[in-house]
Amino acid sequence: MSYYVTTPIYYVNGEAHIGHAYTTFIADALARYHRLIGEDVYFLTGTDEHGQKIEESAKKFEKPTQQFADEISASFRNLWDEFGISYDQFIRTTDKDHMTGVQKAFEKMYAKGDIYKGNYEGHYCVSCETFFPETQLIDGEFCPDCGRSTSIVKEESYFFKLSAYEQKLLDYYEAHQDFILPKSRRNEVINFVKGGLNDLSVTRTSFTWGVPLPDSVGDSKHVMYVWLDALLNYITALGYGRDEAKMDFWPAQMQLVGKDILRFHAIYWPAFLMSLDLPLPKHIGAHGWWTRDGEKMSKSKGNVVSPKEVADVYGLENLRYFMMREVPFGQDGDFSQRALIDRINSDLSNDLGNLLNRIIGMSGKYSDFVIDSSDVMTYHKAEMEEVDAVLGSVERFLDEVQTHRFLEELWKLFTIGNKAIEAHAPWVKMKEGKKEEALALVALVANILAKASVLLHPFMPKTTATIADALGFAIDTNAYNDLVKGGKLLPTFTIKKVPPLFPRIEAPLMDQAPAAQPNAKEEEAPKKAKTEEPVEADNLITIDQFFQTQLKIGTIVEAEEVPKSKKLLKLQVDVGEEKPRQVVAGIREYYEAQSLVGTQVCVVANLKPAKLMGMVSEGMLLAAKDDEGLSLMRPEAPRKAGSSVG
């Protein structure tokens, strides 16, 4: 079988940030996993280098446009190489082969009648490379996606008949329920299409930095608009329009994108493929955005996270594990050093690293480092059945890119190993003269480590290679078939001593992000306060009064929109009681209902119940709101539902 996985091609208007790394880490883990299980894998990444925004950025830096694109593209490729990303091809939209393939696709669409010539007048956002109807603009001027000012563009253009594919797209979504992942994002795409699709402008004449139209069309003043050019990279990389050498890999099994470009990949891209008579990808997976310490990242704030800086300080594989474990796929994630340190110390050092250290120590004392699995099933059949149950269910989470659930379930194996050591106490067995039982326990844990390491390998390849070497085997497809699928145990081997894999970290190793600067309104407040009466003591509360408020951690188990309300969501929240509480919250403008399921929030638990639109609300969620929007207050790391806050 073959497996084709792609990242979006990253726009060369700046160097890679933590969001780019997240997408690429996931794609790399999926590629490594499918190679591990014996599939023929093709992994594509690259850079998107055409368009008006790139042309303008190059002028700003006083560089030729090609040179500017070369430098930024190289920074992405060099970082992925340094990170050991296992891509098979790094494509650039300035590659001659890519441009040839795009021109061939244009010719086919044009000959089919799906592309026609006309005139366009509309509001255009240079930053988003997108036209918007006036009805979608904020205050009649500003881009609904990025908030920047748009400009009215009037020019001759070629159009793609997107409107002709409206019903075909809806039919496809209905027939392929898992085309868009996570499934919670399906509705936003479907609703957009049901709202009516306008034909799409696919060429421009007001700039020249793009793919020219094919000679057969005979209109040299036009260049292709960035989305037609960019999206076609996924097939031009396989030889479309040229030698077709790798087109057997199409359709892609997984195409990963950020949620901000889901519409282009779930609507425009399928329509282009239908026009070209090509099958559609199996899945479009859209992940969320990353914030830093609860703040939106931006260059102006100076809080953009550099993945290289974090990897250099905390370790690349620690960063990979943290990002793919910390947040459910599709939801927004928050990067904080404290959360990263907690993962390293708890999951990696305590659970995984310590388990390896313990069996190295015990085998050294009891058997001169020799480990023999022959008695494992005699004494530990129950534990092995638990291990097999986890191994039999964990891989399904990767089909829906739920890396956090995959890693969460996989970690149950380390829990089984650590609990077995405490329950069977091999040091006591040795004192009692039950050496055979003690050595069987050590072998049990060694086999648990080996089996878990095989499946952890796509996420932490260097770490698991070290563990496997210590345990006397190599991680490859044979190991997967034998240890994970075949239920086999390790042959007798001599374990190697290795230094601790994950030294504990006691304090942050990087500078903290700059504190958020107050906005203009906040800056005026202290000045005004000087002319007002002093704050009365009655405005203050005592510590006893504060503790009358019960704040608890709650897990959202169900979420749905409230009909006829643009603001309210109805939530069922588990706060550690016999049944979940119903909380009606005015957060619909900021959160999709399904994106909240499974997340944790802070709940005011002793608030008197109130009725909102006829529905009882048994609590209130804590949230912070400023000029940039609303953000729910959440624990840094998962906590037991009902845990007290304060």
Work out the end-to-end distance of the chain between its first and last CA atoms, rounded to an integer number of angstroms.
Answer: 53
Beta-carbon contacts of 402 under 8 Å, excluding residues fewer than 6 positions away, are 328, 329
**602 annotated as ligand-binding:** no
Q: Please give the single-letter amino acid code of residue 517.
A: Q
The backbone torsions φ and ψ at residue 90, rounded to the nearest 5 degrees and listed phi first, read -115, 105
- Tell me how far CA of residue 151 lies from CA of 120, 136, 536, in angstroms: 13, 14, 51
Distance separating alpha carbons of residues 29 and 49, to the nearest angstrom: 26
Decide: helix, strand or coil at residue 583. strand
Rounded to an integer, what distance in angstroms lies between the CA atom of residue 171 and that of residue 384? 46
Residue 551, φ and ψ in degrees, nearest 5 = -105, 130
265-266-268 Cα angle (round to 5): 65
The two tokens of residue 236 are 């031009």
Give the strand order in the sheet containing 130-132. Answer: 130-132, 115-125, 151-160, 200-201
> Is the peptide bond between 491 and the residue preceding it cis, with omega within 30 degrees of 0?
no
**Angle, CA 30 vertex, CA 27 and CA 33 arms, to 5°:** 150
CB burial of residue 86 (10 Å; 0-12, 13-18, 19+): middle
Three-class secondary structure of residue 113 per DSSP: coil
Q: How far apart are the C-alpha atoms of 471 and 363, rounded to whole Å?
A: 12
Which helix (H) or strand (E) element contains residue 357?
helix 354-367
C-beta pairs of 213-217 under 8 Å, 24+ apart in sequence? 213/103, 213/106, 213/158, 214/103, 214/104, 214/106, 214/107, 216/107, 217/106, 217/107, 217/110
Q: Report how far residue 154's alpha carbon sits from residue 611's, in angstroms, rounded to the nearest whole number.
A: 52
For residue 143, say whether it is annotated as part of any ligand binding site.
yes
> Tokens 């993945």 label which residue?
307
The alpha-helical segments, DSSP class H, found in 425-493 are 426-431, 435-456, 461-470, 477-479
Residues comprising the binding site? Answer: 125, 128, 143, 146
Residues comprising the binding site for Zn(2+)? Answer: 125, 128, 143, 146
